[in-house]
Structure 1
Amino acid sequence: MNFIGHLFDTPIALGYSVILPLLLLVIGLVVGLKVVKALQAGLTATFCLVGAAVLISRFTSSLLDLGRQMTQASGVTMAVTDVGWRASSLIASASRIGLYIVPMCILINLVLLLAKATRTINLDIWSYWQCAFVGAMAESLTGSFAGGMITACAAVILFLVVADNTAGKLQKYCDVPGVSLAHGFAAGPAPVLGLFNWVLDKIPGLRRFRVTFPSLHKKIGFLADPALWSVIAATILGLLAARPLGEILPVSFQVGAVVFLVPRIMEYLGQCITPIAEGLERFSREKLGLHTSLTLGLTSTVGLGNSTVLFISLLLTPLAIPLAARLPGNLVLPDSDLVMIPYLIIFAVLLARGDLIRSLIGGIGAIVLSLYASTGLAGLTTQAAAAADPETYGALTQSVSNLFGSGNPITWVLVSLSRFGVAGWGMILILALAAAMWNYNRMTGNVKLYVKKPKPLLASSIDEMKKEAEQRRSQRKQAVSQKRAALRAAVAADLEKRNQEDGGAEASVRSDSEESGK
């Protein structure tokens, strides 16, 4: 088993900029592309992702500086220190589960693909450690390696199910076909956000009421450009943080440049990856008999290809600090993981279909969920971090947590269930298998488990339906005949008026000619 675990150390160490083109090349060849075309698609897609990641890194570092300055200006302190996502990564890699997480995730993904319980081919193997973190937290809580493995496997399944159900929104609003996002941190608040938008859509009038950048652009043109709004917002936030204007403006324009460039890079990424996406769609329908196409699970940077995501994250990063200070029961003050807020709110924007108001409310909700989850797992995170790295975290006198790992709502649910031992692991398995079965029925069109059989219609009901249909037909005929009659009358009146005008004109011409003759 150690050999199997270490087998994946080299590709992980090389990074996705080296391995991703090879993975895309293999997939392109499998779906029928020529070698040159598949290689071109893989390389250009990787170049786009690397370039976007560089820009996003500059964007998030600006948000972190701004948030920390606002924290210092406010003087707010909390009982739990936000030590950032690297603490979660350390906990995952130091655990026994972290050694086997990559082959385990690949195996589960393959089994679910063969069982038609997922359509995501998760290529983001560098984010698998998030599943290992869930299992490591469960193992640290219960002391059971088997329980930790069960919890980690459940996390893999749930993240894939979320990826399948959000792929359509991701492809539509980020202009990247054939992709999905199985990133654990982004997927955490997605079920609650989906329920939130579903409820709003059921309220009359709210479904069609949308305020988006494209709709505003139709009314006010360039003044609705997201990059322009980002420059203005960054400038205002810098002034609120009491920074000199000479320092604010360069950063503001850098933020605007990122908001301007990243969506265009993702648009080009969509063009590059289209041949592989089309090949996957043909392969899915012809070879696998799926009702939907297989998708490529890529890095969460793809989700930041929507300008609304970047703009809303710019607003919510400084807002997270006063929100955390006033939230009842919260003990975590966001600090190091402020850079992760753009990834946290990806589905808050995409599930809201780009609506600015819904996205802002959903983003606030995602931050609230993350803060409460990180507070709930703060004690366990402190214990696990001290065991993983005693030199760094063992001597701390204050509890530690973060938004990225401990603040994931799905992580909190799974770890909380594992507290009940065997019964909790059973509930975790039931939850994961139920999600996979639901996903299978949705993908294959086999919805018999969820749709009641229609009751047979009585003869009287059929007669009533025929009468209603006949009445509607007669009403339509009557309305059409009335419109035609009104149109004929209008035409006749118009002709009569024109004849009268023509007759009057001829009479005047005749009288003028007679007078000139005299």
Structure 2
Amino acid sequence: MGFIKYIVDLGPSVMLPIVIFIISLILGQKPGKALRSGVTIGIGFIGIGLVIGLMLNNIGPAAQSMSKNFGIHLNVVDVGWPGDSPMVWAGPIAITAIPIAIAVNILMLIFGLTKVVNVDIWNIWHMAFTGTILYIATNSIWIAWIGVVIHAAIAYKFGDWYSPIVNDFFGLEGVAIPHGTSAYCAPLAVPIEWLIDRIPGLNKININSKNIEKRFGVFGEPMIIGLILGIIIGILAGYNFKEIAQLGMNMAAVMILMPQVVKLIMQGLMPVSEAAKDYLQKKFNGKQFYIGLDPALLLGDSDVVAASLLFVPITLILAIIIPGNQVLPFGDLATIGFFVAIAVGIHNANLFRTIISGSVIMSITIWIANKTIPLLTQLAKMVNMLPKGTTHVAALDQGGSPLTYLLLQVFNYKNMGNLIVFILLGLYYLLGLYMSAKYLKNKSYVKDEDIG
């Protein structure tokens, strides 16, 4: 267990290359080629970290200024995944969660229940979060482990259900995204896609980057869209001209740089992916498999980055109008694209539909994040990571997860709270899961610009 913790503590940019190198050797690749793949992928993730850091360092202060500018007074700060993931890794469940999640993956592969071969060990922290919160709420290690098993099993099915979107829409061939906000938020978007498809008039509205670029020329290009959105956020934040211009240019840079670093990861991944497919097809009679990777890959799509920037002010507005909300969105604002990434693919980059489903996703996320404040605060105190000057903490990423919340209510029924809300949310999420498995099979995910 100590060795596993040491590897996890290295961080994804070091841990993932090690995992990829070992897997490549097992698959029969030469050491030099395996090393090149691992290092290339590691460099790509460092690049993603730098670009996300660029967003965080610019969007975070802008969001705070926007809150002050509009007189938003919310007393519990969202620490985001950069804040709650270290708490989980330092908690009582994380290290046991890793072998449990790996075992679930292996068993599901053996029995043909998933096509996802997960190599993204670091993001098992999402499953560990569910187990940790259940442990704090129930004081039962067995319930915590059951929560990890259930979360892991559903996550690998997410990878299966959304693989056509990841492969066709995002162009990440042979890849699945089973983890994190991108996966567990996606079921909330599917019923909305189904509903809009059946509403005359609304089903004809299609606003996407291709249409914008056709209509507005250079002003529709991704970097110009990033520039414009950055300028708008700067104005809403009450910045001066220099700050507005700098924010605009930084967001334009994000729109260009993020796809480039994702391409670098794919360059390193493709040899491994091909070797894995050949190896697994021989072992499993020609069956198709997907390599499970980090949702950060989805931010390589300019439509996702554009939605990410757009949802900064939208999320703050929702935080104001949601009744009883105490959470000030902050830590996750820079990576808000994770929450709506697969939704962008589900809606085939239709920004109109993404705004509708994304608003539902973020409203539910904020509402749930309020419910987990006591448990997350207890975890922060347990591992001595409660930020100075604060008495409570919240997190949108995973702290606002419908999957974790519903499992929490099932296993901790004495504190179920609003039974009607629980039932309605549970039914809606189950509907999203069912439709993800059935309805999405008949959809097409080829981008307009890819049709030739």
- TM category (shorter chain) comes to 0.7 to 0.9
1:286–1:13 CA distance, 2 compared to 1 (3 A):
same
Give, as a single letter, the amino acid of the residue that structure 2 aligns with 1:362: S
Pick aligned residue for 1:324 from 281, 299, 319: 319
Shift of residue 323, structure 1, vs aligned partner: 1.4
The question of whether the paired residues in 2 share the 8 Å contact of 1:266 and 1:305 is answered with: yes
Shift of residue 305, structure 1, vs aligned partner: 0.6
Does structure 1 residue 373 correspond to structure 2 residue 371? no
In 2, distance between residues paired with 1:34 and 1:41?
11
Pick aligned residue for 2:106 from 102, 105, 110: 110
- Secondary structure at the aligned position of 1:401 is classed as coil
Quote the residue 1:175 is aligned against: 171
In 2, distance between residues paired with 1:387 and 1:46?
32
The question of whether the paired residues in 2 share the 8 Å contact of 1:175 and 1:266 is answered with: no
Quote the residue 1:162 is aligned against: 158
In 2, distance between residues paired with 1:353 and 1:333?
30
In 2, distance between residues paired with 1:320 and 1:212?
20
Give, as a single letter, the amino acid of the residue that structure 1 aligns with 2:326: L
Quote the residue 1:512 is aligned against: none
Larger radius of gyration between Structure 1 and Structure 2: 1
Does structure 1 residue 409 correspond to structure 2 residue 405? no
In 2, distance between residues paired with 1:107 and 1:369?
31
- Secondary structure at the aligned position of 2:375 is classed as helix
Shift of residue 228, structure 1, vs aligned partner: 0.2
Does structure 1 residue 128 correspond to structure 2 residue 106? no
Shift of residue 302, structure 1, vs aligned partner: 0.4
Shift of residue 395, structure 1, vs aligned partner: 8.5
The count of corresponding residues between Structure 1 and Structure 2 is 424
Quote the residue 2:332 is aligned against: 337
Shift of residue 160, structure 1, vs aligned partner: 1.6
In 2, distance between residues paired with 1:385 and 1:269?
33
The question of whether the paired residues in 1 share the 8 Å contact of 2:184 and 2:402 is answered with: yes
Shift of residue 131, structure 1, vs aligned partner: 1.4
Does structure 1 residue 190 correspond to structure 2 residue 186? yes
Shift of residue 268, structure 1, vs aligned partner: 4.4
Give, as a single letter, the amino acid of the residue that structure 2 aligns with 1:367: M
The question of whether the paired residues in 2 share the 8 Å contact of 1:377 and 1:406 is answered with: yes
The question of whether the paired residues in 2 share the 8 Å contact of 1:31 and 1:280 is answered with: yes
Shift of residue 193, structure 1, vs aligned partner: 1.3
Quote the residue 1:311 is aligned against: 306
In 1, distance between residues paired with 2:80 and 2:267?
35
Does structure 1 residue 287 correspond to structure 2 residue 283? yes
For structure 1, which segment, 76-85 or 339-348, has the greater mean C-alpha deviation from structure 2 after superposition?
76-85
Give, as a single letter, the amino acid of the residue that structure 1 aligns with 2:412: R
1:214–1:74 CA distance, 2 compared to 1 (3 A):
same
- Secondary structure at the aligned position of 1:330 is classed as coil
Describe how 1:96-107 pairs up with structure 2 within 5 A: 96-107=92-103
Shift of residue 235, structure 1, vs aligned partner: 0.9
Does structure 1 residue 152 correspond to structure 2 residue 144? no
- Secondary structure at the aligned position of 1:336 is classed as coil
The question of whether the paired residues in 1 share the 8 Å contact of 2:17 and 2:38 is answered with: yes
Shift of residue 79, structure 1, vs aligned partner: 4.8
In 1, distance between residues paired with 2:172 and 2:289?
14
Pick aligned residue for 1:364 from 339, 359, 364: 359
Shift of residue 331, structure 1, vs aligned partner: 2.8
- Secondary structure at the aligned position of 2:323 is classed as coil
1:74–1:12 CA distance, 2 compared to 1 (3 A):
same
The question of whether the paired residues in 2 share the 8 Å contact of 1:177 and 1:273 is answered with: no
Quote the residue 2:237 is aligned against: 241
Give, as a single letter, the amino acid of the residue that structure 2 aligns with 1:11: I
In 2, distance between residues paired with 1:258 and 1:128?
27
1:8–1:268 CA distance, 2 compared to 1 (3 A):
closer
Residue ranges of structure 1 left out of the alignment (5+ in a row): 422-430, 446-518
Shift of residue 141, structure 1, vs aligned partner: 1.1
In 1, distance between residues paired with 2:14 and 2:129?
25
1:169–1:316 CA distance, 2 compared to 1 (3 A):
same
The question of whether the paired residues in 2 share the 8 Å contact of 1:53 and 1:301 is answered with: no
Shift of residue 117, structure 1, vs aligned partner: 1.3
Give, as a single letter, the amino acid of the residue that structure 1 aligns with 2:71: G
- Secondary structure at the aligned position of 1:400 is classed as coil
Quote the residue 1:95 is aligned against: 91
The question of whether the paired residues in 2 share the 8 Å contact of 1:97 and 1:148 is answered with: yes
Shift of residue 394, structure 1, vs aligned partner: 10
Describe how 1:342-357 pairs up with structure 2 within 5 A: 342-357=337-352
Shift of residue 142, structure 1, vs aligned partner: 1.2
For structure 1, which segment, 312-321 or 215-224, has the greater mean C-alpha deviation from structure 2 after superposition?
215-224
1:110–1:316 CA distance, 2 compared to 1 (3 A):
same
In 2, distance between residues paired with 1:139 and 1:120?
28
1:387–1:13 CA distance, 2 compared to 1 (3 A):
closer
User: What is the percentage of aligned positions where both structures have the same residue?
Assistant: 27
1:32–1:201 CA distance, 2 compared to 1 (3 A):
farther
Give, as a single letter, the amino acid of the residue that structure 2 aligns with 1:239: I
Quote the residue 2:44 is aligned against: 48
Quote the residue 1:384 is aligned against: 379
The question of whether the paired residues in 2 share the 8 Å contact of 1:159 and 1:182 is answered with: yes
In 2, distance between residues paired with 1:192 and 1:129?
22
In 1, distance between residues paired with 2:45 and 2:170?
13
Shift of residue 114, structure 1, vs aligned partner: 1.6
- Secondary structure at the aligned position of 2:413 is classed as coil
- Secondary structure at the aligned position of 1:176 is classed as coil
Quote the residue 1:302 is aligned against: 297
Shift of residue 95, structure 1, vs aligned partner: 3.4
1:211–1:286 CA distance, 2 compared to 1 (3 A):
farther
In 2, distance between residues paired with 1:369 and 1:188?
12
Residue ranges of structure 2 left out of the alignment (5+ in a row): 415-426, 442-452
